[in-house]
Amino acid sequence: MTDGKYKTIALLEILTAIGIILFWIGFFTIGMAPETPPACYFAYEHSFPPPDTVLSLILIYGGIMLWKGNPRGRTLSLVGAGGLVFLGLLDASFNYQNGIYALSTMDLVLNGFINVWCVILGIAIVAGLNGRRGGRDD
């Protein structure tokens, strides 16, 4: 893998982690919930901040280590990738089954983008780091 490719992955991991953190700050401060959420919505959403915080820390630390060429970066990045795919698919499943995407165009665009981004980035991290065995490939 070229230096530029894993630095790109590292940067996307860090930016995604920051986005996850900012999402939750916005959710709890400016109220990013749908106007008419299903009855189970808040119980479901309130279960996410702890695991999303752990995922964000893994992505940030993994991204920093990957940027520096530290072998731990690859390992943590792959763990984070799995977390992103799981998060994206779980959230998409909930949103679809509970009609969140159909509530408004804004809910469809915002939630759809977040869900697709998580899944695609997770898969891209795995594909991009496939076969790397440690630090930088020299």
Q: What is the pLDDT of residues 23-55, one digit of tens each?
A: 999 999 998 888 888 999 999 999 999 999 999
Q: How would residue 1 be classed by pLDDT, with cut points 50, 70 and 90?
A: very low
Please state at what angle helix 105-129 crosses helix 71-97, rounded to 10 degrees.
150
At 34, list the tokens. 């749908």
The region that residue 35 occupies, defined by phi over 0 for left and psi between -120 and 50 for alpha, beta otherwise, is alpha
Could you tell me where the DSSP H helices lie in 3-48? 3-29, 41-45
* pTM (predicted TM-score): 0.89
Q: For residue range 81-97, what is the model confidence (pLDDT) as tens digits?
A: 999 999 999 999 999 99
The region that residue 130 occupies, defined by phi over 0 for left and psi between -120 and 50 for alpha, beta otherwise, is beta
Whole-number pLDDT of residue 53: 98
Task: Give the span between the Cα atoms of 6 and 9, in whole angstroms.
Answer: 5
Per the CB < 8 A criterion, the answer to whether 135 and 19 are in contact is no
**pLDDT above 80 (res 136):** no
Whole-number pLDDT of residue 3: 80
Output the CA torsion sign for 102, 13, 80, 49.
Answer: negative
Mean pLDDT in residue range 104-115:
92
**pLDDT above 80 (res 138):** no
**pLDDT above 80 (res 134):** no
Q: Residue ranges per domain, the chain?
A: 3-129
Per the CB < 8 A criterion, the answer to whether 36 and 98 are in contact is no
